[in-house]
Structure 1
Amino acid sequence: MSDATASSIDYSDEASFSDYFALLKPRVMSLVVFTALAGLVVAPVGVHPMVGFCAILFIAVGGGASGALNMWWDSDIDAVMRRTAKRPIPAGRIDRDEALAIGLGLSGFAVVMLGLATNVLAAALLAFTIFFYAVVYSIWLKRSTPQNIVIGGAAGAFPPLIGWVAATGSVSLEAVLMFGLIFMWTPPHFWALALFLKKDYDTAGVPMLTVTHGRRVTRAHIIVYTLLLAPVALWLGFTQIGGPIYLTVAVLANAWFVKGAIDIYQRDETMAEADSYATEKSFFKFSLLYLFVHFLALMGDAGLRGLGVY
């Protein structure tokens, strides 16, 4: 972030609790909590409810710390993008240095407490996730390559893996596939968003694929990654944590997702602008539901398995 941009922000407004909560990116944190919970619940090793609660709490705090560090670094970009201009730092309600201190403090607290509550491997994975999101993605990749969201997507894919490791103390194929599900889902999810927010990224100078290669290439990339995502999602259904609920959901959701990607690919800019990118927005909204139904289905199968139904 440039010093000029930082000095132009007026921090005269007093921050409220909601501002500090917004600094932690609660929407992202909710996805972190849900997928981490799924990883914990579907693991073949049961954990004490209090241990499980603490694990999810500290993973959530770690996710919030990542969000604060991301907002600290990206405050100059946030200030010029319409979608993010009202965030607490560019809006002048929280100082950048304060956000950095909060992010670093919560990071250390979350990692240490998760290690004490569960195991060292889970804590190490949480520490690496925070580092990956704040440094590898936010500081390095986001402003340097159109592949930013492809590589950086790994940060959002770690929570179910951490939840699994918190319960079992080890990594397995199932945990890797849950990671892979989110990792492969991330590019089409964000590229769909970038299709109808291209002007924002243009203004901010962020080298999203839509900015560097155009919307036509982005549409092609969406369909490629969606087609690569489907086998990963289905493969998970044939592991020990899969079951009839998950397989049914995976088949239906991925069929819809692939169809949506094809619809996006077949459009040109004249069509998209005529209906204000309705198809792209619909695909993006379904992509939010996509992860939810997959991980909910995994937990549903785990519940029935625990009841001895199968």
Structure 2
Amino acid sequence: MTAELAFSTRGSLLATVRNYVVLTKPRVISLLLVTTVPAMVVAAGGWPGTWLVLATLIGGTASAAGANVINCWYDRDIDAMMRRTAVRPTVTGEVPPGHALAFGVVLGGGAFLFLWVTTTLAAAVLALTALLFYVLVYTMWLKRRTPQNIVIGGAAGAFPPVVGWAAVTGDAPLAAWVMFAIVFFWTPPHFWALSLRLEGDYARAGVPMLPVTSGAAYTRAQILRYTLMLIPVTLLLAPAAGLGAIYVSAATVLGGAFAWMAWRLWRSPEAVPPLRVYKFSLLYLGLLFIAMGIDAAL
């Protein structure tokens, strides 16, 4: 009986831990962190030190996790209407709303203190700014009110490279903000490609994502537009950060491939599923930032 009780308790504890981890949206966080380390390498002109990288990643993870948990707490009403999010623990009741909110606040506050102690105050402030922007501006204000929600609100996800740079140098020069701009212009085509797939979910929940308010054809045109605007921004980083041929070549080739896919999605949507563009956008961002890190290191 004791063994059965211990097994049941352990299983319940693991389930609880899993539910809280789900609220942090680990896959979203991994994407944000991909942009942090290369920015640190560029800022340092080489490897900035393993401890500093680990500390920045831990603090950045906790801050982003806090923002995501608070997002799940606030959006639990519309999450219940969408198939993709209806199983979130804040919807099913496996995590009480008050507990979720407290967990998110503790994560965000702890991340600020941790980054301040282990890296720089600038990095801590920037990470907290990203959290507040995501929660207050995107989640609580823009998401339910305007189809431009992901354009403006996407700025929150553009902070990680600036945080990484500030963790190394204690400031955020022009090059760091060009990296911010890269992620900022990348976010709309990335997310709109996914929203084309999830249009029905957003319509049921009354969330004014672009495909819902303006239609699929207009959304595809906007994906192409933002992709074309993204390419010169990526090339601007070369002179701003002193990067050379490796980065410029990668930015040119990757940008051309992204533009080609966006153009085909616009012209021949029946031949190019939006999910394919969405997945390529993930690969694009990862390879672009890896290229800038390799260029800086060499």
Q: Same fold (TM over 0.5)?
A: yes
Q: Deviations over 1:218-276 (max 9, x none)?
A: 11211111110010112213333422222221111111111111112114xxx64xx7x
1:11-30 correspondence to structure 2 within 5 Å = 15-30=15-30
Give the aligned partner of residue 152 of structure 1: 153
Q: CA deviation at 1:293?
A: 0.3
The question of 1:296 aligning with 2:252 is answered: no
- Pick closer, same or farther for the CA change 1:51–1:196 going to 2, 3 Å: closer
* Aligned-partner Cα distance in 2 for 1:252–1:201: 34
| 1:245 maps to amino acid | I
Give the aligned partner of residue 60 of structure 2: 59
Give the aligned partner of residue 140 of structure 1: 141
Q: Which one of the candidate residues 241, 259, 278 is aligned to 1:284?
A: 278
1:178-217 correspondence to structure 2 within 5 Å = 178-217=179-218
- Pick closer, same or farther for the CA change 1:196–1:223 going to 2, 3 Å: same
Higher mean alpha-carbon deviation, 84-93 vs 166-175, is at: 84-93
* Aligned-partner Cα distance in 2 for 1:237–1:293: 15
Contact 1:241 1:301 in 2 (8 A): no
Structure 1 portions without partners, runs of 5+: 1-12, 305-310
Contact 1:242 1:298 in 2 (8 A): yes
Contact 2:42 2:241 in 1 (8 A): no
RMSD (CA atoms): 1.7
Give the aligned partner of residue 3 of structure 2: none
| 1:194 maps to amino acid | S
Contact 1:65 1:104 in 2 (8 A): yes
| 2:116 maps to amino acid | G
* Aligned-partner Cα distance in 2 for 1:287–1:112: 33
| 1:101 maps to amino acid | A
Contact 1:201 1:211 in 2 (8 A): yes
| 1:146 maps to amino acid | P
* Aligned-partner Cα distance in 2 for 1:32–1:124: 17
* Aligned-partner Cα distance in 2 for 1:293–1:50: 24
Structure 2 portions without partners, runs of 5+: 1-11
Give the aligned partner of residue 4 of structure 1: none
* Aligned-partner Cα distance in 1 for 2:143–2:190: 16
Task: Select the structure that is richer in helix.
Answer: 2
Higher mean alpha-carbon deviation, 208-217 vs 148-157, is at: 208-217
1:109-120 correspondence to structure 2 within 5 Å = 109-120=110-121
Q: CA deviation at 1:203?
A: 0.5
Give the aligned partner of residue 43 of structure 1: 43
Count of aligned positions: 285
| Aligned-pair identity (%) | 44
1:79-158 correspondence to structure 2 within 5 Å = 79-158=80-159
* Aligned-partner Cα distance in 1 for 2:242–2:198: 37
* Aligned-partner Cα distance in 2 for 1:242–1:18: 42
| 2:280 maps to amino acid | F
Q: CA deviation at 1:47?
A: 4.2
1:198-237 correspondence to structure 2 within 5 Å = 198-237=199-238
Give the alignment's TM-score, normalised by structure 2: 0.91
Contact 1:263 1:279 in 2 (8 A): no
- Pick closer, same or farther for the CA change 1:48–1:259 going to 2, 3 Å: closer
Q: CA deviation at 1:51?
A: 2.9
| 1:120 maps to amino acid | L
| 2:297 maps to amino acid | G
Higher mean alpha-carbon deviation, 205-214 vs 77-86, is at: 77-86
Contact 2:193 2:223 in 1 (8 A): yes
| 1:21 maps to amino acid | V
Give the aligned partner of residue 255 of structure 1: 256
Q: CA deviation at 1:127?
A: 1.0
Q: CA deviation at 1:48?
A: 4.2
| 1:165 maps to amino acid | A
SS in 1 for 2:294: helix
